[in-house]
A and B are shown apart, each in its own frame.
Chain A
Amino acid sequence: MSDVKFSIDGQEITATAGEKLLWVALEHDIFIPHLCGIREEQRPTAGCRLCFVEVEGQDRPVTACTLPVREGLVVKTRSPAVDRLVRTAFELLLSDHRLQCGKCPKNRACTLQQIARERGLKLKLTRLQHLQRDMPPVDDSTAVFAFDRSRCVLCGQCVHADQQVAKVGAIGFSCRGLNRTVSTFTGVDLEDSPCIKCGLCVKACPVGALYFLENK
């Protein structure tokens, strides 16, 4: 594949044509918020809706994880329209995320905290109510790590680690809509699933939904 020249926030960048902008930007230390992006995936999930950027000539922000770089592309990672979408998507995610950072094993290493810091966003709800709904209890059946659904942002990093990297297939997405969740097949405890406790899913989790039990 040929190299192409383009710019992000005024910085001239050379990359392989067709690479997705998100990964090129991150390689150049340009921050773009993201949760669900997986570089190896042929077809990006594009589900978290955080990696919006502004592309010259396009009237709406586009997701960086799906944008192939091409010659002459002019990208801005910030604009009023981008900031507005990111703020809303972020607040929507927070409204369905148990927000007790002090008690969270991922405190200070959480991607949500990083996004808030980088983009000057609040780690609390300003316009929305927290969604009140029943959550399954924390699954700590393996004694090695635990899964707390109330912190899960449905990014799918753990599912990818389990299915594509570890090639185990203990967990996957199930249910639809608001009930969409990461679960074992038929929802049995992790201990009763094919899980081999390799811990790859835990390491992949950007928030505190999956965590090792010793440093709880």
Chain B
Amino acid sequence: MSILSATETKYQALREKAEAKLAPLAAETIIWIGTATCGKAAGAVEVREAFKAELKNKGIDAEVREVGCMGHCYAEPLAVIAKPGFPAICYGKVDEGLVTRLVDDFLINDDPCYEFALVALEPNDVFPTFSDFPRGVYENKMILEQCGFIDPEDIDHYIAKDGYSALAKALNTEPQQVLAEINGANLRGRGGAGFPAGVKWEAVVKQVEKTRYVICNADEGDPGAFMDRSILESNPHLVVEGMIICAYAVGAGHGYLYIRSEYPQAIRRVQTALEQARERGLLGKSIMDNGFAFDLEVFTGAGAFVCGEGTALINSMEGKLGMPEHRPPRLSTAGLRGKPTVLNNVKTFAYVPLIMKKGADWFKNTGTAESPGTAVFALAGKVENPGLVEVPMGTTLRQLIYDVGQGIPGEKEFKAVQIGGPSGGCLPEASLDIPIDFDSLKEGGAIMGSGGIVVLDEDDCMVRIARYFLKFTQQESCGKCTFCRLGTKHMLDILTAITKGEGKLSDLETLRELAEDVQVGSLCNLGRTAPNPILTTLQYFYDEYKAHIEEKRCPSLMCPDLIAYFIAPEQCSKLCNACVGSCPVEAVYTRDDGLKAIDQEKCVKCDNCLKACPIEYNAVIKLSPPALLAEKEGSTK
């Protein structure tokens, strides 16, 4: 038997203490509630309180605890009940009624109410687990594995599940070996660009300057993206551990987590995590008695999208305007306070402990040769099962949308997938077999981005989608450089005109030229990538642009200025007043003959009447171009 190093002894002690503390839990009934921000938004706090009240009222001895996010957004709020003698069972869409039912039927009597259960968390003979569903087959959880299954506010949960063992292992080797492992794994940055983390770290190591910093980028400003928040809220120690390992590898003494202030719960949970790590000697003067000193703190950003860009992030941390700078110098030579700095995304750091623990080869076994590992996505839009998903790199878009997301709801036809957020692009049906990896997506005109995916169906107008993203980048442009400040504004104006039916065909040429020039000419990647939604929609959906311009027609019936609502007399029931009542501006009225009609002058195109009209009549229809109205109305006079 080898003699344990001080670090190993220290780790073993921590581990034993954590396990001893948690062991009694196995004999208790515990109710876990998913209270990441997403769960809370869906009512998890009410569910938590309802459970507590019911347990108290009925005098039941069980504990209510909070966990983070399991990634099944469509089923929030989620609760897991772990009762000795039963597999832990997860219930979705929990409300107060179900709480009473579960307490009465399951906790008091022994009926687990399978009719309300989503899945069991452990293999058993009665009820399926996540891996029995198609999504489970494709998903491969690396960094999300513990999310939703451990208490993010109790470090002992993390330690008991092998947490911080990677750090102990790293501290037992030389920094160069840690670097070699990360390089060997070809871990590419998950913040969007896919730059190899090891190369970045190595550049810092090579600097003469010995004061060095490690920063975690948790600015996460893409609309619709919530992967980083979810990880920080669900398993903050994974990221913290990754950062400490990185600091050891590059010789940094201090680090920061740059988290936007719109993420109060992530900030709180990370701060709690840091305190607990410090208490246990995992941060501070001599980490695990190894002599290595490193500490971390949270820096709260004001939440500008552009502050996610490295140089702008540094400026904002230094108290300057959050605006990007010309590069080089790179952050690895001159970052925070002019010192060599590693800046990585939340997810990038989250892989680090796993790679240290299981080895570079384990990591490379998943994914593709050039993009090893997994990809984490916030899957949203027109899919049955939106959520936070983690799939191996190389999974095709089709698998992600149809197998993991379970396809498009309501017999609608797929139109496009927007990937990479405002810096990304829209890919059509023909691109669905593109494998998801950094390089293939780029070839297709999109980018991996930091992981937002929005699925669009036939009801989505591609010009409006392009306009939506451009409006975002235009508003988030810092205004420092000409191309981005003014170029995005002109492109937005052109798109707006097109959606109003005021575009000219020559505008499309100007739009393309501008888009290409903004892409090449802008100072930072916000401007350089802002045209992507336009260029990809022009490339793949040119006909939609043309229809808006030449026929004043919105093929998806979405642009308010290019549609008109009409009540088909042959379908209107006369006796029902649903549409009249639903109209907020009294545009819908009853004609002398009892049929309903719409005063086009007053109509604000809110869609209420169409939704209100009972399905058996389906009398309200949308027309585009509005000129069709004359024909229709003529025939009803």
Chain A interface residues (CB < 8 Å from chain B) = 43-50, 52, 60-61, 63, 66, 81, 84-85, 88-89, 92-93, 95-96, 127-129, 131, 154, 173, 175-180
Pairwise interchain contact A48-B479, C-beta atoms closer than 8 A:
no
5 pairs of A and B residues whose beta carbons are closest in the complex: A180-B479, A92-B486, A46-B326, A88-B517, A177-B479
In angstroms, how far is the closest chain B Cβ from the Cβ of A68?
9
In angstroms, how far is the closest chain B Cβ from the Cβ of A54?
12
**B325 an interface residue at 8 Å Cβ cutoff?**
yes
Residues of A within 8 A of B513 (CB): 88, 127
Interface residues of B, CB < 8 Å — how many? 28
**B493 an interface residue at 8 Å Cβ cutoff?**
yes
Residues of A within 8 A of B480 (CB): 45, 47, 180
Q: How far is the CA of A49 from the CA of B487 in the complex (A)?
A: 12
Which among B304, B326, B521 is the interface contact of A44 at CB below 8 angstroms? B326
Pairwise interchain contact A177-B520, C-beta atoms closer than 8 A:
no
Pairwise interchain contact A43-B521, C-beta atoms closer than 8 A:
no
**B485 an interface residue at 8 Å Cβ cutoff?**
yes
Pairwise interchain contact A89-B482, C-beta atoms closer than 8 A:
yes
Known A-B contacts A88-B513, A128-B510; the reply to A49 vs B490 at CB < 8 A is no
Pairwise interchain contact B485-A66, C-beta atoms closer than 8 A:
no
**B300 an interface residue at 8 Å Cβ cutoff?**
no
In angstroms, how far is the closest chain A Cβ from the Cβ of B422?
14
**B544 an interface residue at 8 Å Cβ cutoff?**
no
Q: How far is the CA of A175 from the CA of B478 in the complex (A)?
A: 9
Pairwise interchain contact A128-B490, C-beta atoms closer than 8 A:
yes
Interface 1/0s, chain B 175-209, versus A by CB < 8 A? 00000000000000000000000000000000000
**B52 an interface residue at 8 Å Cβ cutoff?**
no
Which among B325, B326, B490 is the interface contact of A92 at CB below 8 angstroms? B490
Pairwise interchain contact A173-B490, C-beta atoms closer than 8 A:
no
Residues of B within 8 A of A129 (CB): 490, 493
Pairwise interchain contact A177-B475, C-beta atoms closer than 8 A:
yes
Q: How far is the CA of A200 from the CA of B447 in the complex (A)?
A: 47
In angstroms, how far is the closest chain A Cβ from the Cβ of B552?
20
Interface 1/0s, chain B 473-489, versus A by CB < 8 A? 01111111111011101
Residues of B within 8 A of A92 (CB): 482-483, 486-487, 490
Q: How far is the CA of A81 from the CA of B513 in the complex (A)?
A: 12
Known A-B contacts A43-B326, A47-B523, A93-B486; the reply to A175 vs B479 at CB < 8 A is yes
In angstroms, how far is the closest chain A Cβ from the Cβ of B469?
16
Q: How far is the CA of A166 from the CA of B304 in the complex (A)?
A: 32
In angstroms, how far is the closest chain A Cβ from the Cβ of B49?
41
Instruction: List 15 additional contacts besides A48-B482, A127-B514, A178-B477; criterion CB under 8 Å.
Output: A43-B325, A45-B480, A49-B481, A49-B522, A85-B520, A95-B486, A127-B510, A131-B493, A154-B485, A176-B477, A177-B477, A177-B478, A178-B485, A180-B478, A180-B480
Residues of B within 8 A of A48 (CB): 481-482
Q: How far is the CA of A180 from the CA of B476 in the complex (A)?
A: 12
**Count of A-B contacts with CB under 8 A?**
88
In angstroms, how far is the closest chain A Cβ from the Cβ of B504?
11
Residues of B within 8 A of A63 (CB): 326
**B321 an interface residue at 8 Å Cβ cutoff?**
yes
Q: Select from chain B the residue with minimum beta-carbon distance to A131.
A: B489
Residues of B within 8 A of A180 (CB): 478-480, 485
Q: How far is the CA of A60 from the CA of B516 in the complex (A)?
A: 12
Q: How far is the CA of A173 from the CA of B325 in the complex (A)?
A: 16
Q: How far is the CA of A63 from the CA of B489 in the complex (A)?
A: 23
Residues of B within 8 A of A95 (CB): 486, 490
Pairwise interchain contact B483-A49, C-beta atoms closer than 8 A:
yes
Q: How far is the CA of A154 from the CA of B321 in the complex (A)?
A: 16
Q: Select from chain A the residue with minimum beta-carbon distance to B486.
A: A92
In angstroms, how far is the closest chain A Cβ from the Cβ of B587?
31
Residues facing A in B324-368 (CB within 8 A) are: 325-326
Pairwise interchain contact B478-A84, C-beta atoms closer than 8 A:
no
7 A/B residue pairs, CB under 8 Å, sorted by A = A45-B480, A46-B326, A66-B326, A89-B517, A92-B483, A127-B510, A177-B478
Q: How far is the CA of A81 from the CA of B516 in the complex (A)?
A: 11
Which among A45, A131, A173 is the interface contact of B486 at CB below 8 angstroms? A131
Residues of A within 8 A of B474 (CB): 177-178
Q: How far is the CA of A46 from the CA of B483 in the complex (A)?
A: 11
Residues of A within 8 A of B510 (CB): 127-128
Residues facing A in B467-515 (CB within 8 A) are: 474-483, 485-487, 489-490, 493, 510, 513-514
In angstroms, how far is the closest chain B Cβ from the Cβ of A109?
22
Which among B482, B521, B522 is the interface contact of A93 at CB below 8 angstroms? B482
Pairwise interchain contact A177-B517, C-beta atoms closer than 8 A:
no
Pairwise interchain contact A49-B514, C-beta atoms closer than 8 A:
no
Q: How far is the CA of A128 from the CA of B326 in the complex (A)?
A: 27
Pairwise interchain contact B481-A178, C-beta atoms closer than 8 A:
no
Q: How far is the CA of A23 from the CA of B476 in the complex (A)?
A: 32
Which among A43, A81, A89, A127 is the interface contact of B483 at CB below 8 angstroms? A89
Q: How far is the CA of A96 from the CA of B486 in the complex (A)?
A: 8
Q: How far is the CA of A74 from the CA of B489 in the complex (A)?
A: 35
Pairwise interchain contact B521-A85, C-beta atoms closer than 8 A:
yes
Pairwise interchain contact B514-A179, C-beta atoms closer than 8 A:
no
Pairwise interchain contact B514-A88, C-beta atoms closer than 8 A:
yes
Residues of B within 8 A of A154 (CB): 479, 485
Residues of A within 8 A of B485 (CB): 154, 177-178, 180
Q: Select from chain B the residue with minimum beta-carbon distance to A65.
A: B326
In angstroms, how far is the closest chain A Cβ from the Cβ of B308?
15
Q: How far is the CA of A5 from the CA of B321 in the complex (A)?
A: 38
Q: How far is the CA of A175 from the CA of B522 in the complex (A)?
A: 19
Q: Select from chain A the residue with minimum beta-carbon distance to B483.
A: A49
In angstroms, how far is the closest chain A Cβ from the Cβ of B581?
41
Residues of B within 8 A of A179 (CB): 479
Pairwise interchain contact B479-A178, C-beta atoms closer than 8 A:
yes
Residues of A within 8 A of B477 (CB): 176-178
Q: Select from chain A the residue with minimum beta-carbon distance to B328.
A: A66
Pairwise interchain contact A52-B521, C-beta atoms closer than 8 A:
yes
Interface 1/0s, chain B 88-106, versus A by CB < 8 A? 0000000000000000000
Residues facing A in B28-51 (CB within 8 A) are: none
In angstroms, how far is the closest chain A Cβ from the Cβ of B483?
5
Q: How far is the CA of A61 from the CA of B479 in the complex (A)?
A: 21
| Residue with the greatest number of chain B CB neighbours at <10 A, chosen from A49, A61, A95 | A49
In angstroms, how far is the closest chain B Cβ from the Cβ of A153?
8
| Residue with the greatest number of chain A CB neighbours at <10 A, chosen from B479, B481, B486 | B486
Q: Select from chain A the residue with minimum beta-carbon distance to B323.
A: A176
Q: How far is the CA of A175 from the CA of B485 in the complex (A)?
A: 12
